[in-house]
Chains A and B, each alone.
Chain A
């Protein structure tokens, strides 16, 4: 089982991303859970959302305390929220930022694997909006290899209709452009 914790701010679409990812993983024959951090939602406030994906039925229903991967949708949260909290030994950190993985490692004081991509920049160019939630799914799929990029197509089309292709293009670019540290 792989457990992912997403860090974002209310309104940036972390919950939409975990939902799309779970729906796509299930459509691809896997078992998955996608859920928000339970509680009131406020635009702009730090939020978390969670993904579990496995090849067999998932029984656990408690929170995710020791994620395999942490994905930071908004790099301004670094220093504000302990994004490394509980990260498994060898766990990976993915950050939406124009910075290099080495710079982020320094910012986080972290020696483990870090991957970075300018998701917001890509989203701006491909979709005309600075909302990188779907873009960063591409980054997550590249780093984890949990699914093929194509597995996202149906759920993205179902959710976004005529703007789906733009989302898929942005996702593909993040997949191709992400920089992964050793």
Chain B
């Protein structure tokens, strides 16, 4: 087992990706992802990573380049954020329809406008239906572990889909914190070489990403839906493999003091750790508060979520993005529809928090719990609110 070292999280992620022996990276730098691009580029330039680093002229080109390289049978990597991800958007469903295992870090950042470079989840949410597996990291260690595991998930013969590893911009990317880096031997033992199902090669012509009209399009969409739903089995297996080898276990839905909780909060990403402190504080005052951390956003873990929401009377869902004119934040909508058919479902409350880097302190989380606890008449249930907004 490696020793804990202090690393900026982006640097740790780039080192982790290098340990995965990628063949090719196509990355266009954008704040707050830039240090991933810079560090990977350094590793290649210094001869420490034997990979092709393609300096593309945009994120659209970055995604195009990794799609091409993955189709040729390469293990590929890219990373982006915010506007970069929006520019890639056009290509994301193509990558998944072509069943290409691409691993991508998203250093989550608000989408313009107005221009804002800080953290929220408004970049990943519009990609929800692109057919990509999407996982969220809570700290630097998870960003490292989930990045390595992502290659194994994506390349598994029963998956063959792209994976995004979501790492909150600044709150995680720009943090120097303790990380245990696995060794090359450990990663080699965990991650087998990539064996593509089919490759583009001039002497063995195949067609990939072809044209389809109404005769087959529906069937192809259904196949893609089945593929991502089926990927969950492999995701669970791969995370279990990771846990067995490295002693750090990952689940699609993780909990903290949720078992006997009357009131639960759900977070996704880096805010879970701060919310945990609020829960300790509330428990100290005798409030039965608990936490649910949603790690797997796609495929959505319906069964796992229902299993942890059996007992609580109230559930607070936090969202880091807005669905303008919609029923509430995107996570809230998903949770509500997931629980719609469940008898005795909790009263669900939605707070939109941390937009464009707005800090959320322990006292804010305590405040959300207290506000919801006081709502005996459930007047605010099933509605959403922008926490702390000035009006």
Contacts and interface: CB of A to CB of B under 8 A. Distances in A.
Contacts of A108: none
Interface in A40-90: 40, 58-63, 65
Contacts of A60: 273-274, 277, 362
Interface in B131-169: 139
A18 B174 CA distance: 12
B176 interface: yes
Given A26-B4, A27-B6, A32-B6, A38 B357 contact: yes
A61 B277 CA distance: 10
The listed residue with most B CB atoms (<10 A of its CB), out of A31, A33, A35, A61, is: A61
A39 B109 CA distance: 12
A118 interface: no
A22 interface: yes
Given A18-B176, A26-B178, A31-B178, A63 B117 contact: no
Interface string B355-376: 0010111100000000000000
- DSSP majority for the A interface? mixed
Nearest to A25: B6
Contacts of B16: none
Contact of B118 (A22, A34, A39): A39
A13 interface: no
Given A22-B177, A31-B178, A32-B178, A59 B276 contact: yes
Nearest to B140: A33
Contacts of A33: 175-177
B171 interface: yes
B30 interface: no
Nearest to A58: B177
Contacts, number: 72
B356 to A, nearest CB: 11
B170 to A, nearest CB: 4
Nearest to A36: B174
A39 to B, nearest CB: 7
Given A38-B170, A39-B118, A60-B277, A32 B357 contact: no
Contacts of B118: 38-39
B271 A39 contact: no
B6 A39 contact: no
Given A62-B362, A63-B361, A32 B177 contact: yes
A24 B7 CA distance: 10
Given A26-B4, A60-B273, A35 B361 contact: no
B8 interface: yes
A23 interface: yes
Contacts of A39: 117-118, 357
Given A61-B271, A61-B274, A32 B176 contact: yes
Interface string B262-287: 00000000110110110000000000
A24 B117 CA distance: 29
Question: What are the nearest 9 A-B pairs in CB distance?
Answer: A26-B6, A23-B6, A34-B176, A38-B170, A59-B273, A22-B176, A62-B361, A26-B178, A63-B359
14 contacts: A23-B176, A25-B6, A26-B178, A32-B176, A32-B177, A33-B176, A33-B177, A35-B174, A38-B170, A38-B174, A39-B118, A60-B274, A60-B277, A62-B362
Interface of B: 4-8, 117-119, 139, 170-171, 174-178, 270-271, 273-274, 276-277, 357, 359-362
Interface of A: 18-19, 22-27, 31-36, 38-40, 58-63, 65, 155
Given A38-B174, A59-B277, 8 more contacts: A22-B6, A23-B5, A23-B6, A32-B178, A35-B174, A38-B171, A39-B357, A61-B274
